[in-house]
Chains A and B, each alone.
Chain A
Amino acid sequence: LAKTTQPISMDSYEGQEVNITCSHNNIATNDYITWYQQFPSQGPRFIIQGYKTKVTNEVASLFIPADRKSSTLSLPRVSLSDTAVYYCLVGEFTGGGNKLTFGTGTQLKVEL
């Protein structure tokens, strides 16, 4: 299983862009990179998923370099409501392999 490493915590202010980087040195060819967000007392919620280069949706962007050994989740103009734990996961989604490992996550705190 590909192990991920993320910063334990990050602080930011409202309106700023936040970039959270995840290292996954032993990512496999079939592995995708997925980010989840978790608020207190709730289950994790899918944010974004990618395989290579850049992916963007209405919530965030995901940057993946060519070697795919790391990825960066970018949250534009964060607000207080973005305060949460963010998890980076690496795993494959083919029929045979479906196991994802949640790391410790990054606790993002957004202040005024």
Chain B
Amino acid sequence: DAGVIQSPRHEVTEMGQEVTLRCKPISGHDYLFWYRQTMMRGLELLIYFNNNVPIDDSGMPEDRFSAKMPNASFSTLKIQPSEPRDSAVYFCASRSSGDKQFFGPGTRLTVL
């Protein structure tokens, strides 16, 4: 298994632009998580899905952030419009019921 796949690995954009981060979870995993990591705030859970349905999005910082999971093998995290304070590493993780989370390599986002 290739593990959790994220793309792009690095993204540099300008303030005000739309950013879309992508994640492919491990096949068979029915939970998917989006995290954000910064030096100041550490690793924060933004949202998680179960069977493609968003369960808890209380960690999403504001309306500029949105996440979707159209099917079991794909999820996106979108920021529109992006701001410099959104600069961080965004991780996607997946797991099956009652098991450990597997993290992807992350997307390093820089908003200028």
Contact = CB atoms under 8 A, between A and B. Distances in A.
Interface of A: 34, 36, 41-46, 49, 87, 93-95, 98-105
A43 B93 contact: yes
B45 A43 contact: no
By secondary structure, the B interface counts as: strand
B105 A99 contact: no
Contact of A99 (B43, B45, B97, B102): B45
A46 B101 CA distance: 7
B65 to A, nearest CB: 17
Given A43-B104, A98-B48, A87 B98 contact: no
A93 B75 CA distance: 22
Contact of A93 (B4, B42, B55, B98): B98
B60 to A, nearest CB: 13
B42 A103 contact: yes
A25 B91 CA distance: 28
Interface string B55-82: 1100000000000000000000000000
B106 A102 contact: no
Contacts of A99: 45, 48, 56
Nearest to A42: B105
A104 B37 CA distance: 11
Contact of A102 (B31, B43, B50, B56): B43
A95 B97 contact: yes
A102 B42 contact: yes
Interface string B85-112: 0000001010001111111111000000
